[in-house]
Copies of this chain bind each other. A is one copy, B any other.
Amino acid sequence: MVDLKGRDILHGAQFTREEIEHILRVAEDVRARLKEQRALDVVKGAVLGSLFFEPSTRTRLSFETAMHRLGGSVVGFSSAEATSTAKGETLADTIRTVDQYVDIIAMRHPEIGSAQAAADVAQAPILNGGDGAGQHPTQALLDLFTICAERGGVEGRTIALCGDLKNGRTVHAGAEVYKHYDCRLIFVAPDPLKMPAEITERLRAHGLKVEETSDLAAALAQADVLYMTRIQKERFEDPAEYERLKDSYILTRALVERTRPDVTILHPLPRVNEIAADVDDLSNAAYFRQMKNGVYVRMALIGLVLGRL
């Protein structure tokens, strides 16, 4: 029996397969119920602390929408400038303070390990919305939910992940949930941005078929799902290196139609130019549906962690 009440959601690696499937089932149930009504009224009176020490439209608004559609309220901030960090306060003190106010905290912070540090001092459950180049577990779950919704499941599927696999927290967190399934992963990256060997080896140890290449077209030809990611300027120390690598992969409609017309295309967004605009109209371009699924998955997580779903 899966019970997530009171649990922190920190790493993709923290879940058992049973837990993952329970979360996805609850998210699917949330989706079905939202077809009948605009909101569920299950966490009325509860308050979410939405603490974004780093700007994020997508993840912040997704968590906040999820809380509102569960019938709860939100307080918070959208950048570190509006906080007492500027007065010299530690992260731990900020978290301990907000912990006195709210029932649950969603946070994004530029430092790896910050979500764990927050969980160490808070009574309220912490939902990690991204800690620097670290983890982003709710993203991993919504990606998995989307693959299941679009392809009927992840078992036996070939998933190509392409872009900055070295720094991309979404693909790192993803690796931790795919490992529970009998699927095949193809990592597509230029050499300096390859998936860390440590992750690749761990996945192989779990019995997954993992291949590496720098050739997008070759990977695409074999993929059921193509997960594109942005080359993240903010993770580069050397601007020249960014300039050299930023256009490594550009997915065009012509390439998709020529190589694998029915591939499911995902992207955590925001994108810069790695998916051309003409791809958007393909029925298998699923990245905006993926955004919507993010709300269902986060509603499921908030409801489960608060013991109300």
Complex alpha-carbon distance, A102 and B39, angstroms: 11
Residue of B nearest to A78 (CB): B82
Q: Is the CB of A61 within 8 A of B84?
A: no
Shortest Cβ gap from A230 to chain B (Å): 8
For window 44-83 of A, CB contacts with B under 8 Å fall at 44-47, 49, 52, 55-58, 61-62, 64-65, 68-69, 71, 73-79, 81-83
Q: Is A295 in contact with chain B by the CB < 8 A criterion? A: yes
| Smallest CB gap from A96: residue in B | B288
Determine if B270 and A88 form an interchain contact, defined as CB atoms under 8 angstroms apart: yes
> Nearest residue in B to A97 (C-beta to C-beta)?
B291
A289 CB contacts on chain B under 8 angstroms = 100
| Cβ contact within 8 Å between B61 and A68 | no
Interface membership of A233, Cβ < 8 A: yes
For this chain, the copies found in one complex come to: 3
How many angstroms from the CA of A51 to the CA of B37 in the assembled complex? 24
A43 → B minimal CB distance (Å): 8
Q: Is A272 an interface residue (CB 8 A)?
A: yes
Whether A244 sits at the interface, judged by CB under 8 Å, is no
CA of A79 to CA of B78 in the docked complex: distance in angstroms? 10
Interface residues on A, range: 35 or more
Asked whether any CB of chain B lies closer than 8 Å to the CB of A98, the reply is yes
Check A65/B75 contact, CB under 8 A, given A39-B44, A270-B87: yes
Pairwise interchain contact A83-B55, C-beta atoms closer than 8 A: yes
The reply to whether B97 and A269 contact each other, CB–CB distance below 8 Å, is: yes
Contacts of A86 in B (CB 8 A): 55
Contacts of A57 in B (CB 8 A): 77, 82-84, 89, 94, 97-98
- On whether A44 and B55 interact (CB within 8 A), knowing A101-B291, A291-B101, the answer reads no
Residues of B near A295 (CB, < 8 A) are 100-101
Point out the residues of chain B lying under 8 angstroms from A294, CB to CB. Answer: 100
Interface string of A149-161 (1 = CB under 8 A from B): 0000000000000
> Which residues of chain B have C-beta atoms less than 8 A from A25's C-beta?
none
A31-49 CB mask vs B (1 if < 8 Å, else 0) is 0000001110000111101
* In the complex, per-residue mask of A195-236: 1 if CB is within 8 Å of any chain B CB, else 0: 000000000000000000000000000000000001011100
25 contacts between A and B (CB under 8 A): A37-B45, A38-B44, A38-B45, A39-B45, A56-B84, A57-B82, A57-B83, A57-B84, A57-B89, A57-B98, A62-B101, A68-B73, A74-B75, A77-B78, A79-B82, A88-B233, A89-B269, A89-B272, A93-B271, A97-B269, A97-B288, A100-B289, A100-B292, A101-B292, A101-B295
